[in-house]
Chains A and B, each alone.
Chain A
Amino acid sequence: IAGITQAPTSQILAAGRRMTLRCTQDMRHNAMYWYRQDLGLGLRLIHYSNTAGTTGKGEVPDGYSVSRANTDDFPLTLASAVPSQTSVYFCASSEGDRGDYNEQFFGPGTRLTVL
């Protein structure tokens, strides 16, 4: 693989179900991010990780959790999905978090529908 990948590409999920969105990068980037993108709104940060072993909350963390066990992987888990979590989810990574090291590279996105 080259760059950053996400799985699944799309998913339809029943409300109340648990779901994990996967994200893997092979650029050895220190920082990783999860965003959601909704029509008419900017990208909103859900959670981030500045380096393996650490995570932080973004603007809209409620209902989501993340882990960063190693440099490459940054899964996002919805413990009990609700319809308001219907969105396009983007994973991104950057070399660092300062200056132009924060140039973020995005995965192709996961389109999630919660019914």
Chain B
Amino acid sequence: GQNIDQPTEMTATEGAIVQINCTYQTSGFNGLFWYQQHAGEAPTFLSYNVLDGLEEKGRFSSFLSRSKGYSYLLLKELQMKDSASYLCAGMDSNYQLIWGAGTKLIIKP
């Protein structure tokens, strides 16, 4: 079966760095997405990885290892506005997204 695993909740301190991990099992693989979702709002796109390695975009970076079925989202210089859920989604052989349940990130001052 297809499955996306990520931690349910994480806590970090303002100004610090946090890494949110995601492991995936999909039927075929056509890339991995990360989305941010603030409470009561719609998900918004953060990153897309299809090749191994690290993609950096400002304070956010995303890493992919296809051989390990593993990705992480790295958030630096955390700000209170980064408190949100972070959704990992793998794209399968039919180009459909398989979504994880999301990681709720709590930022403390």
Chain A residues at the B interface, C-beta cutoff of 8 Å: 35, 40-45, 48, 58, 90, 97-100, 102-109
Partner of B4, one of A40, A42, A104: A42
**Contact across chains for A106 and B97 when beta carbons are under 8 A apart:** no
Chain B nearest CB, measured from A4 CB (Å): 9
Chain A interface helix/strand/loop/mixed: loop
Chain B residues at the A interface, C-beta cutoff of 8 Å: 4, 30-31, 33, 41-45, 48, 50, 87, 89, 91, 95-102
CB-nearest residue of chain B to A103: B45
**Contact across chains for A106 and B43 when beta carbons are under 8 A apart:** yes
Q: Which residues of A are found within 8 Å of B95, using beta-carbon distances?
A: 97-98, 102
Chain B nearest CB, measured from A31 CB (Å): 9
Q: Which residues of B are found within 8 Å of A90, using beta-carbon distances?
A: 42-43
Chain B nearest CB, measured from A109 CB (Å): 6
